[in-house]
Amino acid sequence: MSHANAALTPRARLRLARLVVDDRWPVIVAAKMFMVSPVTARKWAARYRAEGAAGMVDRSSRPRSMPTRTPPDVVKRIVRLRWRRRLGPVQIGGELGLPASTVHAVLVRARINRLSHIDRVTGEPIRRYEHPHPGSLIHVDVTKFGNIPDGGGHKFLSRQQSKANARDQAVRTGERGRHYRPLIGTAFLHTVIDDHSRVAYIEVCADEKAVTAIGVLERAVTWFAERGVTVERVLSDNGSAYRSHAWKDACTQLGIRHKRTRPYRPQTNGKIERLHRTLADGWAYARFYSSETERRAALPGWLHFYNHHRTHSAIGGPPISRLNNLPGHHN
């Protein structure tokens, strides 16, 4: 593609070359007309004679030979040190006897100049992906939050006060666990997120059994369908609910293909793992809640804000913006 200050575009080059070659204009006159040098006019005319109109397109400015380029074996050593030991350009240059600027240039070409681009477990570059349209893939998972005792929990109160609130609640409700300890319970949040748009669907449940997970999936599919999205595939981890025959049968009845992540590789389901962190920071522990009922009542409002108003850094806008322009929405 021609740069912003180019005197000739491919179309203008073709016109110039045809004036010189086909219409036999003097090179100096044609060059003056297009405000370029005669040398430039002769270059395009010669290329037109040799290659025709196809020769007018832009070409790479890369030189045919680069004698000073870093040898391939040195590049491999630089990349190996970056992957295995996560060293910076200065440290790698010190070990290999190279300038830090050379090492940095190699890391940029290999796209591993930032440590955030390298997987901590394998040391390999992180492979990011995004499915082409809403519904092509949804991620499902379960995250857990301890319930808040009446009066507040330890995130905003002292642990002594939080335990006292839990004991008082146990006295009122009679709910106690092992060794007569107050039983506050756990909130199981079944989360669903669309891979392309990042639109999320969340339900708070009492457990993470297969029957519960299937019910959430069915309601999520209906919820997405109401917004013009047809779910094609679902990705889950290897939890017992998602490995059950009931889950497999439910996916078959819904016409959804089920995929599971590799064991011990939560990065594969990274979009929903990141949603869980956002959920914790933006809703679960964002402010003081005097009870679990108050916190759960705030979830629908926060979820609406996340889907409709919160700008997602990966897509440059709120998630719902990728659903508002689906085909057929404005017929």
User: d(Cα 10, Cα 299) in Å, to the nearest integer?
Assistant: 57
pLDDT in tens, 119-133: 665 556 656 678 889
Alpha helices in 136-240 (DSSP H): 159-173, 210-225
For the entire predicted model, the pTM comes to: 0.63
Q: What is the pLDDT of residues 88-98, one digit of tens each?
A: 899 999 999 99
Taking CA atoms, 206 is separated from 24, 147, 243, 284, 329, in Å, by 85, 11, 20, 16, 36
- pLDDT greater than 90 at residue 48: yes
| Mean pLDDT of the region 261-270 | 80
Distance, CA of 311 to CA of 282 (rounded, Å)? 13
How much is the pLDDT for 117? 61
Going by pLDDT thresholds of 50, 70 and 90, the confidence category of residue 330 is very low
Task: Please tell me the distance from the alpha carbon of residue 124 to that of residue 30, in angstroms, as a whole number.
Answer: 55
pLDDT at 70 over 70: yes
Q: Is the pLDDT of residue 212 over 80?
A: yes
Q: Is residue 276 scored above 90 in pLDDT?
A: yes
Q: How confident is the model at residue 331 (pLDDT cuts 50, 70, 90)?
A: very low
- If phi > 0 it is left, if psi is from -120 to 50 it is alpha, else beta; for residue 113 that is alpha
Q: Please, are residues 184 and 149 in contact by the beta-carbon 8 Å criterion?
A: yes
User: Bridge-partner residues for 143, per DSSP?
Assistant: 189
CA 237 → CA 136, 197, 268, 269, distances in Å? 18, 20, 9, 7
Residue whose entry in the numeric block shows the structure tokens 């179309």: 11
